[in-house]
A and B are shown apart, each in its own frame.
Chain A
Amino acid sequence: MSWTWFHKLASPPHAYRILGSMAPWFGWASLALILLATWWGLVKAPADYQQGDGFRILYVHAPSAWMSMFTYVVMAVAAGVGLVWRIKLAHAAAAACAPIGASFTFLALATGSIWGKPMWGTWWVWDARLTSELLLLFLYLGYMALRASFDDPQRADRASAVLALVGVINVPIIHYSVNWWSTLHQPASVTKFDKPSIDLAMLIPLFLMIAGFQLYFGWAVSRRLRGEILRRERNANWLKEAT
């Protein structure tokens, strides 16, 4: 099997150019979707029968929690590809994901805490869902700290990729924690093999917000990855054109 197409796609100048032309599209589309979803979620969606208007925190909490796990999977896959095919661009992509994922994880924890106080009656509990999500934050932070501790980018890539792969096991644990163990956090409303347990009028803005966050991630990772490419490519001819 020939992998030349793969390596060509992963060539830094090619990727740098493609990312640069894609980023604005991601950026504007995500801005439009997030604004639309915010209006829809705060104004147009009906209040919940039990939580009233307090349930509207769902529209920022669930998308950020989703993104915290999605970003980690992307990071781990990129790290794995980087290890197997020795592609620097894949390692660079994994490195670009980490700070974005960490910020989404922090946001999911913080908004969850703010939501938990009035509804559950507590800011924080050590149940399996909340604890595993906190572990995800530490995995991101550990990944970044590990990278920063190496001077040699190649060794940083390899060591951090192993950590990313080891940590990926936490993602299914977070997702299924609410089904496997008794937790204070309720089971999934949407991501299950069943009809969503959320009314359609409330579901639409949630999907819009998730799509908006997803595009926003596309924008942020494009920008950061372009930076990573430039930092790794020393004295290459195309750098002259790129800058």
Chain B
Amino acid sequence: MDLQKFFEMGGYAGYVWTSYGLTALILLWNWWAARRSEAEAQTAARRRNELALERLS
């Protein structure tokens, strides 16, 4: 496969690579944001449990 030809995308390099790059960016953002949302909720829940335990003792 001719790599240079591949990257040129028949003259549409700017448009094609920007689209794919943007897609990768959005998918990565979703991945990061979903993980963070879950992790934050877990940390908060853990803290609530610890507080509840302290109050009991």
Contacts and interface: CB of A to CB of B under 8 A. Distances in A.
Interface of A: 34, 38, 42-43, 47, 52-54, 56-57, 60-61, 64, 99-100, 103-104, 106-107, 110-111, 114-115, 117-118, 216, 219-220, 223-224, 226-231, 233-235, 239-240, 242-243
B12 A61 contact: no
A235 B48 contact: yes
Interface residues on B, range: 20 to 34
A227 B38 contact: yes
Given A53-B9, A118-B12, A103 B29 contact: yes
A111 B46 contact: no
Given A106-B26, A224-B37, A54 B15 contact: yes
10 contacts: A54-B10, A54-B15, A99-B30, A104-B26, A114-B15, A223-B38, A227-B39, A227-B41, A233-B45, A239-B45
Contacts of B26: 64, 103-104, 106-107
